[in-house]
Amino acid sequence: MKSTTPEAVRADATKWFQQHWDPELSLGRWWQLLADAGWAFPSWPEGCGGRALPTSATKAAIQARRDAGAFGPPNGVATFLAAPTIMHYGTEAQREKYLPQIVNGQDRWCQLFSEPGAGSDMAGLATRAIRDGDEWVVSGQKVWNSGAQWAKYGILIARTDPQQPKHRGITYFLIDMEQEGVDVRPLREMTGDAAFNEVFLNEARVAESDRLGDLGDGWRVAMTTLSHERDPDNAGLGETAAFGSVDLEVTVNDHLSDLESKVDGFSLALSGGVTMVLDDVTNQFDALDDPIKRQRMAKIMEMRRTSKWSGMRTAASLKSGGQPGPEVSMLKLLGAEMNRQIRDVGLETMGPHGMLYGEDAPTGGLFHAYAMFTPALSIAGGSDEVQRNIMGERVHGLPREPGEKEQRELPWSELPRS
């Protein structure tokens, strides 16, 4: 058996990247090579783009890739939400059907959870799935679905039994987005981008074999997805663009030049790439000469270290059998706060230039695109207030909100709706 010490893994990975990394390969070929070798997502199981490596060895493998200057694996809802949920709850057939095309970047996915009347109160969702032979017929409206316009598949939660209390009559499905009955309409954000969408489902079809988890157990499956979404150290959260269309035929070099011209605030925030842009800002404006700014930068670095502190991470995963538990809400809150601080220190450092927008602004407007996106980090994946409720109720055992217990017992069909 091969050694999995960080040193041995780093040496192994370094050798592999020296032999295989070539920016003139097509993007599709490169991602396939990475996945087949298990260097795409080193902590994931063998055959799923990984080598089942422990955390320290995974870090060593990722560092070896960075040192080689090699482009990272695919990124997006497919890798950081769909894959870990399918790995945990999927049948053998579902894993075989979906995971290979996720880890090689061929299929993009979206998340169909939120609805106009069910965001924070996601368990109140109204999209219905009705059984019809070997299929389910799905109708309803979803909203804020990031990347749905480029997605081949969606992770979907829908109500399968309105007579059950709201948390119990929900089922989780893997839906084909490229079918009649799925209408995706992009929404323009204040950043100027249109990364998320409304999705109208009008008698869309899902095979019974694409139900993920047990009938009526969709809430539990969705909580697993959300725990991964709130985990800043999610193994499927990569450094490459999370959203947008991807041409697998172009060379990695061409893909990279294309990315440079259209990187958005959403991808920058998700990939952590903003720290490099912040470095550009601090260098350009000599911010480190100012002791107060230096102090604030140190605070940001400390927050980043804390969010990766292994003691907290271990606590966050122990409660749910290796899956991130409710404690991960703390890390999500910390991430939102840290991004606000990066935004503020960056814009203040620029002085009057901080008020510009677009290509005229420092860093070609990249930092400003990120700054405009930062409020979204306190909303996406569950708002800050909701994370605090989760910490209070599920971690510290404080009483639930007044009336919530009664609501949890009533059939969904009898609940008042706005």
Ligand X SMILES: Cc1cc2nc3c(=O)[nH]c(=O)nc-3n(C[C@H](O)[C@H](O)[C@H](O)COP(=O)(O)OP(=O)(O)OC[C@H]3O[C@@H](n4cnc5c(N)ncnc54)[C@H](O)[C@@H]3O)c2cc1C
- Which residues are identified as catalytic? 229
| Residue among 254 and 384 whose Cβ is closer to ligand X | 384
φ, ψ (nearest 5 deg) of residue 221: -65, -40
Q: Which of 341, 340, 312, 318 is nearest to 232 (CA)?
A: 312
Whether residue 248 contacts residue 255, with contact meaning beta carbons closer than 8 Å, is answered with: no
| Residue among 110 and 274 whose Cβ is closer to ligand X | 110
Q: What span, in angstroms and rounded, lies between the C-alpha atoms of 196 and 198?
A: 7
Helix/strand/coil for 153:
strand
Going from the C-alpha of 111 to that of each of 240, 269, 328, the distances in angstroms are: 19, 18, 19
Helix (H) or strand (E) holding 403: none
163 burial level (CB within 10 Å; 0-12, 13-18, 19+): exposed
Residue at shortest CB range from ligand X: 119
Q: How far is the CB of 373 from ligand X (least distance, A)?
A: 7
* Number of residues that make up the chain: 418
Dihedral of alpha carbons 32, 154, 111, 324, sign: negative
- Other CB atoms closer than 10 Å to residue 408's CB: what's the count? 13
| Residue among 146 and 323 whose Cβ is closer to ligand X | 146
Going from the C-alpha of 7 to that of each of 20, 42, 171, 342, the distances in angstroms are: 20, 15, 44, 33
| Residue among 171 and 389 whose Cβ is closer to ligand X | 389
Q: What span, in angstroms and rounded, lies between the C-alpha atoms of 290 and 275?
A: 18
| Residue among 123 and 350 whose Cβ is closer to ligand X | 123
Q: How far is the CB of 110 from ligand X (least distance, A)?
A: 6
Q: How far is the CB of 370 from ligand X (least distance, A)?
A: 13
272 burial level (CB within 10 Å; 0-12, 13-18, 19+): middle
Q: Which amino acid belongs to residue 288?
A: L
Strands 109-112 and 153-159: what pairing?
Answer: parallel
Whether residue 150 contacts residue 108, with contact meaning beta carbons closer than 8 Å, is answered with: yes
| Residue among 282 and 387 whose Cβ is closer to ligand X | 387
Q: How far is the CB of 269 from ligand X (least distance, A)?
A: 9
Q: How far is the CB of 321 from ligand X (least distance, A)?
A: 25
Q: How far is the CB of 329 from ligand X (least distance, A)?
A: 13
Q: How far is the CB of 163 from ligand X (least distance, A)?
A: 25
| Residue among 44 and 80 whose Cβ is closer to ligand X | 80
Residues ≥6 apart with Cβ < 8 Å to 307:
232, 233, 331, 334, 335, 338
Q: Which residues bind ligand X (CB under 6 A)?
A: 110-114, 119-120, 144-146, 196, 376, 379-383, 385-386, 389
